[in-house]
């Protein structure tokens, strides 16, 4: 049994009180992972951006809007967890300046200067100590190489490769890759069945008392 942090959903980075930059993410995979982890007897803490899905009542849910807020919430709860699954799609750029009032249209192009937001998965990787970390990679090109780079850069133990077409779909298809670049599991189907598989692989490889990747 483990206490698992799950980040879920998108974050928003506002330009002004009305407009924002974000990523396509429904929170459904976070919901499915929470269900699967709870079904496996684990405790679940969800840090979620704005989504319409309903998370399981047995999970502790912390709501955030921006990437900075998501990072702060994760840093608060990660020390008391055994591991984290980063399935959120945090917005990785933010407008350098946020207008206090709604930006009026002028008929002219609007030049927006975006700066990078903090990398939540990398920050958790740096602070993880003995905790485990599972990331998700959503790449449109050269998926396996980029996913493995991401795993190493963010100090993940496993990374789940996901296709952009799955973002709002009911059916999904993933591969789970370890730190050697080996695909240790692949599955497709409903988000519920894929989530169950991911939690099973985490249980086999990362939670104590079972065969670990690192032992």
Q: Report the catalytic residues.
A: 23
Do residues 133 and 86 make contact, with C-beta atoms less than 8 angstroms apart?
A: yes
Q: Contacting a second copy (CB under 8 A), which of 110, 129, 182, 209?
A: 110
Neighbours of 165 (CB within 10 A): 11
Alpha-carbon distance 159 to 174, whole Å? 10
- When asked if residue 144 is in the footprint of a second copy (CB under 8 A), the reply is no
Q: Contacting a second copy (CB under 8 A), which of 111, 130, 180, 214?
A: 111
**190 Cβ contact partners less than 8 Å away, ≥ 6 residues apart:** 32, 170, 171, 172
Which range, of 13-21, 70-78, 122-130, 171-179, touches a second copy by CB under 8 A?
A: 13-21
Which range, of 79-87, 102-110, 127-135, 197-205, touches a second copy by CB under 8 A?
A: 102-110
Q: Contacting a second copy (CB under 8 A), which of 139, 188, 190, 213?
A: 139
- When asked if residue 164 is in the footprint of a second copy (CB under 8 A), the reply is yes
* Listed residue (9, 44, 50) closest to 28, CA to CA: 9
54 versus 214: smaller Cβ distance to a second copy: 54
- Cβ of residue 188: shortest distance to a second copy, in angstroms? 20
Tokens of 18: 């009305």
- When asked if residue 141 is in the footprint of a second copy (CB under 8 A), the reply is yes
| Binding to a second copy in span 174-203, by CB under 8 A | none
52 versus 214: smaller Cβ distance to a second copy: 52
Strand 83-86 versus strand 171-178 pairing type: unpaired
Q: Contacting a second copy (CB under 8 A), which of 26, 31, 48, 172?
A: 26
3-state secondary structure of 98: coil
Strand 93-95 versus strand 43-48 pairing type: unpaired
Q: Contacting a second copy (CB under 8 A), which of 58, 98, 115, 186?
A: 115
52 versus 180: smaller Cβ distance to a second copy: 52
Q: How far is CA 10 from CA 50, 92, 185, 206, in A?
A: 7, 10, 26, 26
């Amino acid at each position: 049994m483990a206490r698992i942090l799950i980040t879920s959903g998108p974050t928003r980075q506002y330009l002004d009180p009305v407009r924002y930059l974000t990523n396509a993410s429904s929170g459904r995979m976070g919901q499915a992972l929470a269900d699967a982890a709870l079904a496996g007897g684990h405790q679940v803490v969800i840090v979620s951006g704005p989504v319409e899905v309903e998370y399981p009542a047995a999970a502790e849910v912390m709501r955030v809007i921006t990437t900075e807020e998501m990072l702060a919430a994760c840093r608060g709860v990660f020390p008391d967890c055994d591991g984290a699954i980063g399935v959120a799609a945090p917005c990785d750029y933010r407008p350098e300046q946020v207008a206090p009032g709604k930006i009026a249209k002028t008929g002219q192009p609007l030049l927006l200067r975006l700066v990078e937001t903090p990398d939540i998965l990398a920050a958790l990787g740096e602070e993880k100590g003995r905790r485990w970390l599972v990331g998700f990679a959503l790449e449109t090109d050269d998926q396996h190489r980029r996913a493995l780079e991401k795993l190493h850069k963010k100090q993940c133990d496993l990374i789940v490769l996901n296709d952009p077409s799955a973002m709002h779909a009911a059916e999904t298809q993933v591969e789970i890759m370890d730190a050697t670049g080996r695909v240790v599991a692949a599955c497709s189907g409903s988000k519920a069945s894929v989530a169950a598989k991911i939690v099973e692989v985490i249980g086999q490889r990362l939670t104590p008392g079972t065969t670990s990747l690192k032992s």
